[in-house]
Structure 1
Amino acid sequence: MNKVIISNFAASLFALLNPLGLVPIFISYTARENLVVKRWLALFVSLTALVLLMIFLFTGSSLLTFFGISIDSFRIAGGMILFVIGLGIINGNHKKSSQNMVSEEQNSDFREAQLVYSKIVIPLAMPLLVGPGSIANVILYASEAKADNNNTLFVGLMATIVVICFLIFVILLAGRWLQKLLGDVGLNILSRILGLLVASMGIQFVITGLSNTILNSIAPQILKIR
């Protein structure tokens, strides 16, 4: 059962982060930088995504408890967000920027990467990469793991996040190669397929949340009748 949940989490998180759709944006931001700087920037962006996702994995369910929000209510809200984001990806309405960064004085490639990163971390790492949909997704799965006291599942979610962030690093590094291989049309098609998956998962979240809410409200009444 854990394998099924983890595989679903991996598929949904990868689709929501949509690193393939981020490739053209990353290329436009780093067009004037040399190869070493681009490698550092790919590492910085992927590590930022890792840190953000881990924060929400560990603290997300506590935030729900603090604000008195049930997991089913959050599941419905998260599903609606996923559906809207999925439609936006399908329609090509996700934010892009053609801004090119102006290089500073190059004391070193690492220092240059730090300077560029400080300017592109918002919006590249968040919210374009780690946005409301991926945050909601992580909180939902973390809440379910904690509700079942399933430490093995929680560790699996952590490992999945690490693997996916490593894939983000690899994809950003291979950005120009992917663009040459697939072309702008190919990347666009892949991005829209991911958008369809996100929208479908959002609908499933809403259906599950509504079903649980209805059952939880009807079951006590049935027990009283009996």
Structure 2
Amino acid sequence: MDKLLISNFAASLFALLNPLGVLPIFIGYSAGEKRNVQRWLALFVALTALAILLVFFFAGSSLLKFFGISLDSFRIAGGILLLIIGIGIVNGDSSKAAKNVAAEDQNSDFRAAQLVYRKIVIPLAIPLLVGPGVIANVVLYASEAEAKKDDALFAGLIGTIIVICFLVFVIFLSGRWLQKVVGDVGLNIITRILGLLVAAIGVQFMITGLSNIIVGTLVPEILKVR
């Protein structure tokens, strides 16, 4: 088993998921909820991220090929979605949706968390946590394990995904503590700043995707014509 490969995968996966960067946005969506509801939400989002990562780990390249979707096309689509979401966060729309949904059911923390989760699974789980970069990273390392035909390495990479998603869950659980430290005004400022960054990330995704398509597809075609 290649321990260096696994450690590199763990470091890159955690950096690309960036749960610390997504945490203020999670807090913005769940700030008005009870602690138990926030715990359920953190669990739901972490499990969703885990499920998506495992799906792309086992069938990522085949899935994209089946639908005829290139990674750059996926990156552009994710960038457009992030841009729209980032604008909404800057305008203060992120927490309102969660609070309105939670008001539908005050009797069950689990049920309230389900209702909020339906509204925030996008963008939190995908594409903020599991974006094109994360998917590309997972597909790349899965292909590496397949090429080496190392079952221990394959299992180690799966275990790494599970551990990292557990860390995401733990980090999101700390959201209540952060909310107490910075206060409502500070949280509002942080959330809007992060909204601006989310929009900028979306624009960067689109630029990267378009650049790769132009350089990798259009330029060779133009040179052929000449």
Match of 1:185 among 184, 189, 200: 189
Q: What secondary structure, in the 3-state scheme, does the structure 1 residue paired with 2:106 have?
A: coil
Instruction: Give the 3 Å change call, closer, same or farther, for CA 103–86 of structure 1 in structure 2.
Output: closer
- Residue 107 of structure 1 is matched in structure 2 by none
1:107-133 CA-partner distances (Å, limit 9, x unpaired): xxxxx4433333333122x22322357
Whole-angstrom distance in 2 between the partners of 1:192 and 1:157: 33
1:60 aligns with 2:60: yes
The alignment status of 1:78 with 2:74, answered yes or no, reads yes
8 A Cα contact 1:83 1:200, kept in partner: yes
State whether structure 2 residue 203 is matched by structure 1 residue 199. yes
The alignment's TM-score, normalised by the length of structure 1, stands at 0.65
Q: What does 1:14-29 align with in structure 2 at a 5 Å threshold?
A: 14=18, 18-28=22-32
Matched, 1:131 2:116: no
Residues 50 and 165, structure 2, Cα contact 8 Å, conserved in 1: yes
Alignment map for 1:1-226 (pairs within 5 Å): 10-14=14-18, 18-28=22-32, 30=33, 33=34, 35-36=35-36, 38-67=38-67, 69=68, 74-93=70-89, 96=94, 97=97, 98-99=99-100, 100-101=102-103, 102-104=105-107, 112-124=108-120, 126-132=121-127, 134=130, 136-145=132-141, 149=146, 158=158, 161-162=161-162, 164-182=164-182, 183=186, 184-214=188-218
Gap change, CA 1:58 and 1:4, over 3 Å in 2: same
The number of aligned residues is 205
Consecutive unaligned residues in structure 1, runs of 5 or more: 105-111, 222-226
Distance (Å, rounded) in 1 between the aligned partners of 2:54 and 2:27: 23
Distance 1:42 1:4, change over 3 A: closer
Root-mean-square deviation (Å): 4.1
Ranges in structure 2 where 5+ consecutive residues have no aligned partner: none
The percentage of aligned residue pairs carrying the same residue is 29
